[in-house]
A and B are shown apart, each in its own frame.
Chain A
Amino acid sequence: MADARPAEQFASLDQQRDVAHAGMWVFLASETLFFGGLLAAYTVYRIWYPEGFAAASTKTDVVLGTINTAVLLTSSALMGAGVRVAEARGSGRAVGLLLLGTALLGLAFLGVKGTEYVKDAHDHLVPGYDFEFDERLRRGAELFFLLYFIMTGIHAVHLTVGILLVGAFAVRAWRGAFADRLEPVAIAGLYWHFVDLVWVFLYPLLYLNGRAG
């Protein structure tokens, strides 16, 4: 294994790591606000249409949503393990396998989400296309499902990017591309965990609201 040395512009490996992480966090902060706009829209309309939101939320598939949450949390654990193997200068093949597992769980999530979309369409829950709901609650319910599709859709787009990224990194790690450079794996990990983080908040807002009543 080659000796790890910082790139020319850095004084030390620690500084190089610090700069890479800080830069990624700046990007993730902007992503936070990107999703924040949708969360703000959700907040406003949930305040205006509490009954419609609660009624609509119970029409989502809580079993599939919960399974998907567990799948994503597990993928994050595999990613975290992969980053730690890389940082401990462990075998590139181990990193590659852990990243492959991460990407496959991401694919499983998309598969389940796709199943849900088909089910939603079948249940006439697609606003502007085929939406049937109790007329008294329709306004709020339609807004809820509009936000449901936009939020989960944009999350799925982010996850797709993550799957491509982590999948490509899995192959490169297997071939030993990161033996003397640790940052790329950790930075890809930050992105993956962020996508997981977004879902942690979407799950209670979209699936759990109104279940008790």
Chain B
Amino acid sequence: MSGRFRSVWLSWAALVALLAATTGLAYVPLGRAALPAALAVASVKAAVIVLVFMELARATGLTRIAAGAGLFWLCVLLGMPAIDYLNRAARPVTERTLYTSVSPPPRR
């Protein structure tokens, strides 16, 4: 087995270890940090897959631009709605407000 294959099996071992890590982390009460932690692990896994399995690490500029464009527009697609909805004052009637809010009777 030459180095070419070693990188594949090492990546596989790293991916399975990261899977175990993210599954374990999900049961640790991290509160608001849980989602960033899970997404960080997923991003490391994604980087391993993209760079080693998909061979982007040894791709030329043309291929990297095509891949980078996908990532860039994904960030725009997810980032802009997130900024909008995270900062809205008004939310729909959610589970939080549906049964707990005590609103004053409407005045005439």
Contacts and interface: CB of A to CB of B under 8 A. Distances in A.
A211 B26 CA distance: 6
Interface in A30-77: 30, 32-33, 36-37, 39-40, 43-44, 47-49, 51-52, 62, 66, 69-70, 73-74, 76-77
A40 B15 CA distance: 26
A28 B71 CA distance: 10
B57 interface: no
Given A36-B78, A77-B12, A197-B46, A25 B66 contact: yes
B78 A76 contact: no
B11 A77 contact: yes
Interface residues of A, number: 58
B28 A212 contact: yes
Contact of B45 (A52, A88, A200): A200
B5 A200 contact: no
Contacts of A83: 55
A208 B62 CA distance: 36
Interface footprint category on B: 35 or more
Contacts of A193: 49-50, 53-54
Contacts, number: 161
Contacts of A211: 26-27
Contact of A79 (B27, B53, B74, B81): B53
A201 interface: yes
B95 A51 contact: yes
Given A48-B94, A204-B26, A80 B52 contact: yes
Question: When A and B form their complex, which 10 residue pairs have the shortest distance between CB atoms, in order from nearest?
Answer: A29-B70, A77-B12, A25-B66, A208-B26, A204-B38, A32-B70, A211-B26, A212-B29, A80-B53, A36-B77
Given A36-B77, A189-B54, 8 more contacts: A51-B95, A73-B12, A79-B53, A139-B94, A200-B46, A205-B38, A212-B27, A212-B29
